[in-house]
């Protein structure tokens, strides 16, 4: 009898512990991504001197401040011991979601490195569209015959020390910087003419999705919680019924 009660109590505590343990999130908040470039790639943003063009190799991309309207993306070396660049980006939408990381580029004439355009994390429809300084944006727009996002703000393009904090002055300036787009003809246009808008249904759901994104649970985690709850209730019921069954005997 005592052994039965002890077993029931242990099982109940185990189930309760499972309920109290928060499930793992489906994706890291900083969306860490390891990506290998097969050739040199030109990048925007504030970068270490001499690192405006990344040579072929493996790099790590992370979101520096995921709580702001303007996402700030940082590029690290493979070991994450050096920050090469801190880049201003805005949310951009894609119609087709993939289960792999997607980097998009702006192709340029032979002999010139491709220019980094956007980064999409696996399983997400919203990605990061990168913003260039105006002069460089116009140069890329003419070479690719496509409009390019830019900021007219006077920001430092090269720094001697990497940006390590979301509160760094340069990051604050990036968040406040106005953003537009420039055409191959040099005409400044609004973002809506360049950045892909979501379908009407997605646009209406986007604010709610953004609020609950960190609370969303993977389906496997939801199932585990449900079974833990059922197990706990069953064990608790057995504990309450057992004494009565013993007295009937």
pLDDT of residue 91: 84
How confident is the model over 238-246, as a mean pLDDT? Answer: 48
Q: Which range among 37-51, 73-87, 137-151, 216-230 shows the weakest confidence by mean pLDDT?
A: 216-230
Instruction: Give residue-wise pLDDT tens across range 16-55.
Output: 443 443 433 445 788 899 999 999 999 998 999 999 999 9
Split at pLDDT 50, 70, 90, the class of 3 is very low
pLDDT of residue 203: 41
Q: Which helix (H) or strand (E) holds 105?
A: strand 102-106
pLDDT of residue 205: 40
pLDDT of residue 107: 79
User: SS3 of 199, please?
Assistant: coil
Mean pLDDT of the chain: 74
Q: Do residues 119 and 76 lie in contact, with contact meaning Cβ atoms separated by under 8 Å? A: no
Residue 87: closest CA among 75, 101, 104: 75
Angle at 69 between CA 30 and CA 194, to 5 degrees: 105
106: which strand partners?
Answer: 115
CB hemisphere CA count around 149 (13 angstroms): 25
Give dist(CA 231, CA 161) in Å, integer. Answer: 55
Beta-carbon neighbour count of residue 160 at 10 Å? Answer: 7
How confident is the model over 76-94, as a mean pLDDT? Answer: 91
Instruction: Give residue-wise pLDDT tens across range 190-212.
Output: 887 777 666 654 443 443 333 33
DSSP state of 179: -
Split at pLDDT 50, 70, 90, the class of 69 is low
- pTM score, whole prediction: 0.66
Instruction: Give residue-wise pLDDT tens across range 150-202.
Output: 998 888 888 888 888 888 888 888 888 999 999 999 999 988 777 766 665 44
The label of the residue with tokens 């009565």 reads 244
CA 199 vs CA 98, 99, 125, 137, 141: distances in Å? 18, 21, 11, 27, 26
Residue 1: closest CA among 234, 237, 244: 244
Q: Does residue 56 surpass a pLDDT of 70?
A: yes
Give dist(CA 76, CA 142) in Å, integer. Answer: 29
Q: Do residues 104 and 118 lie in contact, with contact meaning Cβ atoms separated by under 8 Å? A: yes
How confident is the model over 225-229, as a mean pLDDT? Answer: 48
Residues 163/169/171/175 CA torsion (nearest 10 deg): 180
User: SS3 of 244, please?
Assistant: helix
pLDDT of residue 84: 96
- What are the counts of helices (DSSP H) followed by strands (DSSP E) for the chain? 5, 15
CA 210 vs CA 28, 69, 124, 164: distances in Å? 15, 11, 12, 25
- What percent of the chain has pLDDT above 90? 35
User: What does residue 139 show for φ and ψ, rounded to 5 degrees?
Assistant: -60, -45
Split at pLDDT 50, 70, 90, the class of 123 is confident
């Amino acid at each position: 009898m005592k052994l039965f009660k002890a077993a029931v109590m242990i099982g109940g505590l185990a189930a309760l512990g499972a309920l109290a343990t928060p499930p793992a999130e489906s994706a890291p908040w900083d969306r860490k991504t390891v990506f290998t470039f097969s050739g040199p790639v030109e990048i925007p943003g504030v970068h270490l001197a001499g690192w405006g063009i990344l040579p072929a190799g493996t790099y790590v991309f992370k979101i520096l401040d995921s709580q702001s309207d303007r996402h700030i993306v940082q590029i690290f070396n493979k070991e994450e011991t050096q920050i090469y660049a801190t880049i201003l980006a805005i949310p951009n939408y894609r119609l087709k979601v993939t289960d792999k990381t997607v980097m998009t580029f702006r192709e340029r004439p032979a002999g010139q490195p491709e220019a980094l355009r956007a980064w999409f994390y696996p399983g997400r429809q919203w990605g990061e569209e990168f913003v260039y300084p105006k002069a460089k944006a116009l140069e890329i727009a003419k070479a690719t015959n496509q409009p390019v996002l830019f900021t007219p703000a006077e920001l430092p393009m090269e720094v001697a020390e990497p940006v390590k904090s979301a509160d760094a002055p340069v990051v604050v300036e990036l968040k406040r910087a106005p953003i537009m787009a420039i055409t191959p003809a040099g005409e400044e246009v609004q973002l809506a003419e360049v950045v892909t808008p979501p379908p009407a249904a997605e646009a209406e759901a986007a604010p709610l999705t953004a609020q609950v994104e960190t609370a969303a649970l993977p389906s496997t985690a939801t199932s585990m919680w449900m079974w833990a709850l059922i197990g706990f209730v069953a064990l608790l019921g057995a504990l309450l019924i057992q004494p009565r069954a013993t007295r009937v005997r």
